[in-house]
Amino acid sequence: MGSWHPECPERLDAIADHLLATGVLPQLIEREAPNAPPEAVTRVHAAHYVERLTQQVPAEGYYPIDPDTLMNPHTLAAAWRAAGAAVAAVDAVMGGDADTAFCAVRPPGHHAEPDKAMGFCFFNNVAIAARHALEAHGLSRVAVVDFDVHHGNGTEAALQGDDRILMCSFFQHPFYPFSGTRNPAPNMLNLPVSAYGDGGIVRPLVQDEWLPRLHAHRPQLILISAGFDAHREDDMGQLGLVEADYAWITEQIMAVAREHAQGRVVSCLEGGYALSALGRSVAAHIRALAGIG
Ligand SMILES: [Zn+2]
């Protein structure tokens, strides 16, 4: 999105470098992301929106959708593969090829609404994966959990009112995108957290608010919008989570998945802009997802 932009290619390098240096990477199966099937994307996004994005791809330079969200000639191709990663990960986990999956993707997705790109996001990878799990795999109950520092307004816009899907999140508030103060439908559990909240604030919310709702929903698959910008070293936001909090939250999600979903969890990278903290936090998350001690 430009050399000044925090949503930068070095984010994925930082993750890969840390996973390699800490010996996690050789314990994982790596797959390249395919393009998403168009019908998977249009289960969430309006066809006219996909067409408009296609027309806005610049031949060179940047096309600004908003001051923070720019397309270069390759952005939309990356977005197709980011969504494709989420779909392929659902296929792999549902087909028994993998127990759990982490999609190290850019661009992120949770701010993308059915007919609006915003907040560095173009296609809503997790919402696309959720609908794919329901429609292509015949599931009747899926859960989405979102621990990015920002509210997942796009996922909420796409999935609110679909009682097959429960979405649980916490996020800094008041803060971008300034949504989420109320639950627009019974399948949404929004938990705003004030600036400077840390693990001591967030863990009880997960324990006392998320977990009872997740157990009551009995999801057959859990999808994670895994943003790491609530880390205390990440100055994109002002929350104070650390790697141990990400590990703990992931372990709670895994426990729900083992009880109701045969352990099936698909996690997709959202935010996380402090490169060192991002690498360490993703490693802690993946260790818990993969059961690596
Ligand atoms: Zn974020």
Show the domains of the chain with their CATH numbers. 10-290 (3.40.800.20)
Whether 215 is catalytic is: no
Q: Residues 111, 151, 217, 231: which is the catalytic one?
A: 111
Q: What is the pLDDT of residue 293?
A: 80
Looking only at the bridges linking them, the beta strands covering 222-226 and 265-269 are parallel
Q: Write down the pTM of the prediction.
A: 0.98
- In contact, 269 and 81? CB cutoff 8 Å: no
State the distance from the centre of ligand 1 to the C-alpha of 147, rounded, in angstroms.
9
Q: What are phi and psi of 239, to 5 degrees?
A: -95, 170
List, edge to edge, every strand of the sheet that includes 165-172: 100-103, 265-269, 222-226, 142-146, 165-172, 188-193
**Percent of all residues in the chain with a pLDDT value above 90, rounded to a whole number:** 99
State the distance from the centre of ligand 1 to the C-alpha of 2, rounded, in angstroms.
18
Alpha-carbon distance 225 to 148, whole Å?
7
Q: Rg (Cα) of the chain, in Å, rounded?
A: 17
Cβ within 8 Å of residue 139, ≥6 positions away: 94, 133, 164, 220, 221
**Percent of all residues in the chain with a pLDDT value above 70, rounded to a whole number:** 100
State the distance from the centre of ligand 1 to the C-alpha of 224, rounded, in angstroms.
13
| Residues with a beta carbon under 5 angstroms from ion ligand 1 | 148, 150, 227, 229, 271
State the distance from the centre of ligand 1 to the C-alpha of 138, rounded, in angstroms.
31
